[in-house]
Chains A and B, each alone.
Chain A
Amino acid sequence: MKRQQRKRLGAVGGVGVFLLAAVAWAELPSTAVGSSAPDEGDPRVEAALLVDATQVKPGDPFRVGVRFRMDPGWHIYWKNPGDSGLETEIAWDTPGSTVGPLQWPFPHTFRTPDGFIVTHGYDGEVLLFAQARAAENATGALQLSAAVEALVCEVHCIPAELMLTRNVPLGPETVLDADAASAFDASHAKVPRPVADTGHTVKLALDTQQLTAGQEFTGTLTVTGPGGAPLPALEDDFFTAERISGVERVTLASAGPGRFTLKGTAEPDVPGAAPRLTGVLRLGTKASGYQPLAVDVPLAPMVAAAGAGKPVAAKMPSVKDSIAAVKPVAAAVPPSAVPAESPVGLGLALLFAFLGGALLNLMPCVFPVLALKAYGFTRMVQQEHGRVGAHAAAYAGGIIGSLLLLAGAVLAVRAGGASVGWGFQFQEPLFVAAVSAVLVAFALNLFGVFNVGLDGTTLAGKVDQSHGLLHSAGEGVLAVVLATPCSAPMLGTAVGFAFAAGPVTVLAIFVALGLGLALPFCVLVLVPGLAKKLPKPGAWMERFKQVLGFALLGTTVWLVWVMGGLAGVDGMARLLAFLVAVGLGAWLYGQSQAQDGGRRLGTAAVAVLVLVATGGVALRFDEAAAPTARASTVAQAQPWDAAAVDAALAAGQPVFIDFTADWCLTCKFNERTVLAREEVRAAFAENHVAFFVADWTRRDARITAKLAEHGRAGVPMYLVLSPGAPEKPEVLPELLTAETVVNAVKRAAECSPARRKDGSSILCAAGPMRP
């Protein structure tokens, strides 16, 4: 008895209450009490079967429960035990009466000292109870028995098993046991009540319309009191989630009165039903008194992750790997689009834009310009030390200015009702021609055919101020122009986000992108001494400059090829003719720089004349002349057509759609290195895949719409449709691997109705399963 007394003192801490408890205890039949979880012979938990009535009338309700008393420091578990532990279980055997579901008071949250393991349960004393009702036809006495299983833990854990029984006599009236009833009432006050009963309103706004398997999700939970009353203050651990099928963990953080930031992680498997947010919320503080609420609101339907099952390289990613691992073009996560892939907030999108912009410098499209700029800096550092900052600012200004222009164009076109994507300007032949011309002129400039910004007669080495700055700004513009068809890691996510967002977001993200693109030079300027470490200029610089010229010509070759896709062989020839004229004009202008007076002006005029005349004649691109059914690198490709896709699906064929464009380097890379591979072709043939190419080289509203349907702002996009579940296409990652494609195609084929007959249990409608 000494032990029990000590414990009761510890648990309730008052002599008066202690006496009451002792009285109640004394009345309990010996079969209704028990102890368990022996710890070297010393039981760590005592349990008693309590009833709130000493006599029950047949047909009347009563309450029955098990009161647990734990040794100090020991605890048992709530229905969701948390990271470890085990739900406390009470199995009732009650002939003559029915017992309802177990009522759980709001649980305490336990943490290991390092916070790594978080569990939920009860220490000290708890009464877990249920509503019961005696049968109308019950006679004699009610037999109540509870088989209790609990895991009792301090640091280590001991399983407890108890069998508690007692009889309650039936009689003409129900007679309450005042002591027991107050214990039940006290416990009942701690049981969270449904908000429907309390008058509170709970609203959940998720940031995405769907949960994606294995991905994190966020949202905002708003709780208002009855009649819109504000919520009282909260204490720590105010929210504990129940176990939610499909959700690994979910937490709430207070974000102002009545507002909570919700963060969660979806499980990698998609559950049968859409998950709901179920948990308990405790309003108030210890001082003010608590009001526990039961929260139960729908979360969102869950979808399988796109490209699920693609293993990521285990090693630390090198720059190249991270370029390969991260989605290059518009892994768009518009808040409005349904198939959101991973929730990206504005902050993250801005960060991605910045980092993506910085990484763009390393991409093949921009690198020549960057190298050019680096060359310029080397010269400048020696010649006019103090003006490096001004030039860096001009360069950054050029970049940001042209990106804002681009953003403005995007907004304008969008306002006009059309939708555009990243790199859309390359769908315009004149734009391609203009960029080619600039590149050729630039290359010739590097070869020394003519000078820009330097008057031939002025002293070499004295760079004219305004011209020099303009030159820097121009290089910034060129960097942007060339950057668009290339996409760096993280950039796609950011741009995808921007394209689906409001005007301010679009502008903000493009500015962040520009800052990132200009970063190398900002670093050069902001880090003192770094600029001085650039190699000393010398004869090598002249050669380096000329080599860079060839790099620019290489970029031109690609643009000429793009023109081929836009305007056919004729278009290519016209563009080349125009480029020759540009060369001639540049050469003439160079000649003029060596002359003086009227002859000089005359020669320059001839140069301009040549350009304008050739331009007028050559720059007429007939887009209709473009080859319509261009050969794909993949066998048996057919141009994309919604009706043809439906027909193939109806015939039981899996469908692979390649959304591509000639100017999209990532698309071309995928087509050559993955889609054209023997194993991929073999997998396509084996699974009778219908392969469609949706070519976005030129404007195509249907393709733009289809891209937007999947939350994308640009190409590439790869869709795999299964005849078993055509409404749920799988979107593959923008950088393909042979494995991804083969697996996706296999999955799609497995879902075809023809194959499902053989008892395959794959849930096609729920999306792709992981291999």
Chain B
Amino acid sequence: MRIKSLLVGLGLLVGFGMAGVSTAQAEEPFKVGFVYVGPIGDLGWSYEHDRGRLAMQKYFGDKVKTTFVQNVSEGADAERVITQLAKAGNKVIFTTSFGFMNPTVKVAKRFPNVIFEHATGYKRSKNIGTYALRTYEGRYVSGVAAGLMTKTNTIGYIGAFPIPEVIRDIDATYMGAKSVNPNIKLKIVWANTWYDPGKETDAANALMDQGADVLIQHTDSPAPLIAAQKRGVRAIGQASDMSKFAPKAQIFSVRDHWAPYYIKTVQQVMDGTWKSQDFWGGFHEDMLQLASINPNLPKSVRAKIDETYLAIKTGKLKPFEGPIKDNTGKIVVPAGHTLTDKELAKVHWYVDGITDKVPN
């Protein structure tokens, strides 16, 4: 019996040894790889990147073959996974989390004929481009909605990490709220995580205990919305449409919409017109969307949301147009100047009126 099972085992080993040799490759479609930091079921950041991938795949049909790897740790594993995607013949590789930056740079040096696109980073080279969202546009509208909906004049803000993207989103939120409600106050709690439902719930409760009755979050789980709904206050969803987790509480969700960028970039690489750049997309490029605006909002609030959205989309309203003072009284954006993308990437101050200090 034992010998028999041994023989079966050996047979199988030989069998799949051969199978590997004989995987011949037919004429290949254009291959595109994606690296995700989370599971595609996180219903937030990685989920939306994967929806972008699927939309791009659908757009190109048989001409493109996409591959993705989920749950890739931002440590030593990232470089291996990116290398293996490059070795597998992918012509464009999207690395969709900040922590993949240095691994992407290392691999890109060894594969000069592969195009790498790194989300939210700042290192570029001949074959590395970077892309990001103008999330501050969504924040400004969120601020306007929150400023109108609050009864306690207090907005609660759950920060992820004190990096420029998060800091300038806090500024944009406050400026939006202030534009419709001069008495607005903004309370900030740092969760020091991108995704941790437990910690996010704690942060939400801490903010509500301080009187906040509209919550805005830069973290990716729906936990704060659920906490808000439990206590009968309002909240705004992040990254994906979170309305089903808190149908009463949700004002709207600011949804990341990567599909247009993925389609455009893959097309450029196919055509040979791709060039390394730092691309930022917002309402105008349809890379940010207001999803599931709640029908239970007062008509006037809804109108103001639509109006602000349109003004930003058409470029009539620019959230970081001067003059802007920081909360120490220093002029950080002079009159007549609008912050450029390079300057936006370095914002490390709170706008006048936020009674808090930027950590560190």
> Is this pair of chains taken from one and the same complex?
no
Residues of B whose CB lies within 8 Å of any CB of A are none
